[in-house]
Amino acid sequence: MSILDPTADSPQQVRQRLTETWSDPYGTPGFFSTVDHKRVGHRYLVTSFVFFLLGGVEALLMRTQLATPDAAVLNPDLYNRMLTMHGTTMFFLFLGTIIAAWGNYIIPLAIGARDMAYPRMNALSYWVFLFAGIFLYASFFVGAIPDGGWFAYVPLTTDYSAGLAMDFWALGVVFVGISSTVGAINFIVTVFKMRAPGMTMSRLPLVVWSTLTTSFMILLSFPAITLAPLLMAFDRIVGTHFFDAALGGDPLLWQHLFWFWGHPIVYVVFLPPIGWLYMIIPTFTGRPIAGYNWAVAATVATGFISFGVWVHHMFATGLPDVTASFFSVASLGVSFPTAVAFFVFTATLWTARRIRWTAAMLWAVGALVSFVIGGISGVMVAIMPFDWQAHDTYFVVAHLHYVLVAGNVLPMFAAFHYWLPKVTGWMLDERLGKTSFWVTTIGLHVLFFPQHWLGLVGMPRRVYTYPAGLGWDVANLASTVGGYMFAAGVLIAMGNFFVSWRRRAPAGSNPWGAGTLEWATTSPVAPYNFAQIPEVHDRYPLWTLDGDVVDDPVGIAPQPGGVVLADEHHETLETVGLDARLGGVLAMPGPSYWPFWTAAATFLCFFGFLIQNPITLTLGLVAVAATLIGWHHGHLTGGEH
């Protein structure tokens, strides 16, 4: 099918024009006004990683304090604050945003689109995330670091936390939730409307399926993490009584709302990384994923069941047995689709023609193997009598960290090693990549495995120290040593990045011989992604039926008869229906400052609420309204929408 005829011009001329149309303005104006999904993706990557390092430093401080009995590295108050910020940073500013980072960068490329469905909303979601992160970390500079735990249980966080500390937490969490919601809507519409012609839902790359599923989960679970901290902020600042048992409120309400978000979020941060592995493992085994339909079914089923498990965080709160039993069964049930996903991986590896053990592949398989431990301890704590014993002990800490580190952090490094050549245009060093893998992964197990044992012998979580002679000393020391080893592995991986940056070994468009569309364009990706929007007939369009790489991948050179788009506006194709029929040409908005200003105005609102200054709050609201009107002014004047 051809929409536009490039025969009038040479491919070089076409690319030249497309580059002029899609490039951002040079320098500072471009920096603040860009709406390019790739630049937004870069920013998400860098910013999330910075928060990962901050959260890691907080964790190391805690681990250092716990290395020996009766240590005095952190005082109890500071320990609480580090505990709170470690959990808050990792959950809200890293785990959830690193998936947005790769989602932003990879998804439009993997579905053969030129941008996200709402480019300006995309920029907004990044700026809001950045401002929310700054808001939360501003608490360090005014000496009001949140201290009520990242789970923020009331009344610890209402009656017993004075000053602004938990106000920073509550409002910061609401703030960052806006970013996730905006991003989720964008991903859903992008997947439904922007797929290349012929990319039916059954040809969708699995990373897109997992991001689509998690986006729906975000839309249905994030309202709880908007509502709960907002009600907490009202209780703390305005004087309502939602969580105040003396005047009709209920502290348990907090746990219901928090965990209604808090449990699905575990799958939200775990499913997209599983999606990355679904992309990486077929590439290095040289065969399509085994059981594609099973993988899709497992992804969607995990999404559904994850909403029926939140009460398993509350087995020890004295709920009726019937209620608890239901949630116990649901929590056991969620392990079935996860097991299916693992069988899919196993089958793919089993039937491989030849496994190439690159650094990316090592990280991916290491993640799978490590995750199994977290999965098994999850089945254990889903069983109520066991949970009553293990609840609030280090066993739960071990389980939680196995699931999250093996389910998100290790896949993140796998994704770095796999996709960075596409992002940067140069290869990472394989030897350093493998070294960092072994150091990090062995560190992970030395760090968290002893914590199972610590929990079983009764060490409670969230304590800042412990006396000698309880039999906890050796395991704690080992755990701390593992923590430093893990950190060393992360530093080696970062060193790899900088060394490879200096070396700049060219990557070429498809260094791994992968089969999906993001490898069909240049590395680094041109501003317009694809000169020619590819037409898709297969799950692995760059592979022949025998699994060999197609010599001349689609999309790089515009060819007569190919689907090429005009060069006047940001134009891309719109497709219709689940089978992605050609729907029309969409004119996308170009660079805009409004997303930045809207996010800044939102910051002003939250700041006004924080300092309880009605004038600032009102100014902020007026500013938000003004920026949104400016944003949509084009609707009225007939400009681009």
Listed ranges 452-460, 503-511, 610-618, 631-639: which one lies at the site for other proteins (CB under 8 A): 631-639
**In the complex, what is the shortest distance from the CB of residue 4 to other proteins, in angstroms, rounded to a whole number?**
5
Q: Report how far residue 527's alpha carbon sits from residue 505's, in angstroms, rounded to the nearest whole number.
A: 22
Which residue number, 137 or 192, has a Cβ lying nearer to other proteins?
A: 192
Q: Is 290 in the site for other proteins (CB under 8 A)?
A: no
Quick one: which of 417, 331, 389 has its CA closest to 102?
417
Q: Determine whether 504 is exposed, middle or buried from the number of CB atoms within 10 Å of its CB (0-12, 13-18, 19+).
A: exposed
Which residue number, 327 or 466, has a Cβ lying nearer to other proteins?
A: 327
- What is the three-state SS of 310-336? HHHHCHHHCCCHHHHHHHHHHHHHCHH
Give SS3 for 588.
strand
**Helical residues (DSSP H) of 469-534, grouped into ranges:** 473-503
Listed ranges 26-34, 341-349, 355-363, 573-581: which one lies at the site for other proteins (CB under 8 A): 573-581
Q: Report how far residue 638's alpha carbon sits from residue 641's, in angstroms, rounded to the nearest whole number.
A: 8
Q: What is the DSSP letter of 573?
A: E
Q: What is the DSSP letter of 582?
A: E
CB atoms within 10 A of CB 118: 19
**Burial track 407-422 (b if 16+ CB lie within 10 A, e otherwise):** bbbbbbbbbbbbbbbb
**In the complex, what is the shortest distance from the CB of residue 407 to other proteins, in angstroms, rounded to a whole number?**
25
Q: Report how far residue 394's alpha carbon sits from residue 377's, in angstroms, rounded to the nearest whole number.
A: 12
Which whole-number Å values give the CA distances from 235 to 155, 312, 535, in the listed order? 11, 26, 55
**In the complex, what is the shortest distance from the CB of residue 641 to other proteins, in angstroms, rounded to a whole number?**
8
**In the complex, what is the shortest distance from the CB of residue 119 to other proteins, in angstroms, rounded to a whole number?**
11
What token pair was written down for 428?
């990472």
Which residue number, 6 or 620, has a Cβ lying nearer to other proteins?
A: 6
Listed ranges 163-171, 256-264, 297-305, 599-607: which one lies at the site for other proteins (CB under 8 A): 256-264
- What is the three-state SS of 10-24? CHHHHHHHHHHHHCC
Listed ranges 126-134, 250-258, 346-354, 422-430: which one lies at the site for other proteins (CB under 8 A): 250-258
**Which residues are within 8 A (CB) of 389 and not within 5 positions of it... i.e. 6 or more apart?**
none
What x/- string results for residues 575 through 614 when contact with other proteins is judged by CB under 8 A? -xx---xxxxxx----------------------------
Q: Report how far residue 402's alpha carbon sits from residue 196's, in angstroms, rounded to the nearest whole number.
A: 37
**What residues from 107 to 136 belong to the interface with other proteins (CB under 8 A)?**
117-118
260, 292, 345, 363: which one binds other proteins (CB under 8 A): 260
**In the complex, what is the shortest distance from the CB of residue 321 to other proteins, in angstroms, rounded to a whole number?**
19
28, 70, 72, 238: which one binds other proteins (CB under 8 A): 238
Q: Determine whether 432 is exposed, middle or buried from the number of CB atoms within 10 Å of its CB (0-12, 13-18, 19+).
A: middle
What token pair was written down for 352?
């491989």
# binding residues, other proteins (CB under 8 A): 63
The rounded Cα 246 to chain-centroid distance in angstroms is 39
Torsions phi, psi for 467 (to 5 deg): -80, 160
Q: Is 152 in the site for other proteins (CB under 8 A)?
A: no
Q: Is 192 in the site for other proteins (CB under 8 A)?
A: yes
Which residue number, 247 or 545, has a Cβ lying nearer to other proteins?
A: 247
Which residue number, 255 or 510, has a Cβ lying nearer to other proteins?
A: 255
Q: Is 461 in the site for other proteins (CB under 8 A)?
A: no
Which residue number, 215 or 510, has a Cβ lying nearer to other proteins?
A: 215
Which residue number, 182 or 397, has a Cβ lying nearer to other proteins?
A: 182
Quick one: which of 296, 271, 135, 279 has its CA closest to 201?
296
**Which residues are within 8 A (CB) of 175 and not within 5 positions of it... i.e. 6 or more apart?**
128, 131, 132, 135, 602, 603, 606
26, 72, 247, 293: which one binds other proteins (CB under 8 A): 247
61, 153, 193, 522: which one binds other proteins (CB under 8 A): 193
Listed ranges 198-206, 340-348, 359-367, 567-575: which one lies at the site for other proteins (CB under 8 A): 567-575
**In the complex, what is the shortest distance from the CB of residue 265 to other proteins, in angstroms, rounded to a whole number?**
15
**What residues from 211 to 230 belong to the interface with other proteins (CB under 8 A)?**
219-220, 222-224, 226-227
Q: Is 188 in the site for other proteins (CB under 8 A)?
A: yes
**What residues from 13 to 72 belong to the interface with other proteins (CB under 8 A)?**
14, 17, 20-21
Which residue number, 116 or 427, has a Cβ lying nearer to other proteins?
A: 116
**Helical residues (DSSP H) of 157-250, grouped into ranges:** 165-193, 206-233
**In the complex, what is the shortest distance from the CB of residue 475 to other proteins, in angstroms, rounded to a whole number?**
41
Report the first-to-last Cα separation within the chain, whole angstroms. 27
**In the complex, what is the shortest distance from the CB of residue 565 to other proteins, in angstroms, rounded to a whole number?**
8
> Contact residues for other proteins (CB under 8 A)?
1-6, 8-9, 14, 17, 20-21, 117-118, 181, 184-185, 188-189, 192-193, 219-220, 222-224, 226-227, 231, 234, 238-242, 244, 247-250, 253, 256-257, 260, 564, 566-568, 574, 576-577, 581-586, 625, 629, 632, 635-636, 638
